[in-house]
Amino acid sequence: MKPATTMRDSNGNDVPIKYVSKYDKAKDKAVRKILARFRKARAALESVVADTITELQVLAQTKETVGSKGNFSAQSFDGLVRVSIKQQYNILLDERVVHARELMLGYIEGVLAKVGGNDAAALRLIVAEAFKANAQGFLSTGKIMSLLRMEIDNADWREAKRILQDSIKPQKGKRYLMCETRSDTQHDFETIRLDIADCWPKEGGTEC
């Protein structure tokens, strides 16, 4: 194969190599080498995930019951290694959620108007936060469920809970694969994070 005599620039022009600076040549070579390294690491990671899921699925078939929401967890015999698949669920609520929010906040505002108090103010904050959607437009499952667990002797509050319960539409979100380990059973599990940001050199690393 003949050595390349040109290099294509960002405008799609083929520039003779003799006109390309030494730095641009070195930069092009370095970033392409890094790209190849990242693609290799990505392929290896995809293989790790696929093989792990397959092994857990085979293991799950030997168990009489698996988590109703698709969750599955397995530990080593000594209890020092745990691998699990966790299914995340998002909560979608229909247009009735607006009415439920109004009923809950209306009750709280009534309490504040009559007697005030830090408890009612804190409850107002909890309700307001629960109905804030994230960037994807979903409400926090934990916060909504927390509201539904609250027992308050008020007709509007009970009606709001009923509306929330009826309007909830669970939707499957991301699935997470986790591998955790611990030194002994007296310690908590620590997740082995396959996260590039968590792999930054602690010492001797260079910064751009």
Residue 196 sits at the vertex; the CA angle it makes with 190 and 201, to the nearest 5 degrees, is 85
What is the C-alpha to C-alpha distance for residues 175 and 191, in angstroms, rounded to an integer?
A: 16
pLDDT > 90? residue 24: yes
pLDDT > 80? residue 64: no
Report the SS3 class of residue 136.
coil
Amino acid of residue 146:
S
Give the pLDDT confidence score for residue 162 in this predicted structure.
93
Total-model pTM = 0.61
Report yes or no: 72 and 84 within 8 Å, Cβ to Cβ. Answer: yes
Give the pLDDT confidence score for residue 145 in this predicted structure.
86
**Across 83-87, 123-127, 185-189, which has the greatest mean pLDDT?**
185-189
Least confident of 28-42, 45-59, 193-207: 193-207
Give the pLDDT confidence score for residue 14 in this predicted structure.
95
The DSSP element (H or E) to which 6 belongs, if any, is strand 6-8
Percent of the chain with pLDDT over 70: 93
Q: Which residues of 155-165 are buried (b: 16+ CB within 10 A; e: fewer)?
A: ebbeebbebbe
List C-alpha distances in Å: 27 to 12, 17, 31, 126: 18, 14, 6, 52
pLDDT 10s digits, 116-173: 778 888 898 999 898 888 776 777 878 888 899 999 999 999 999 999 888 887 777 7
Report the SS3 class of residue 197.
helix
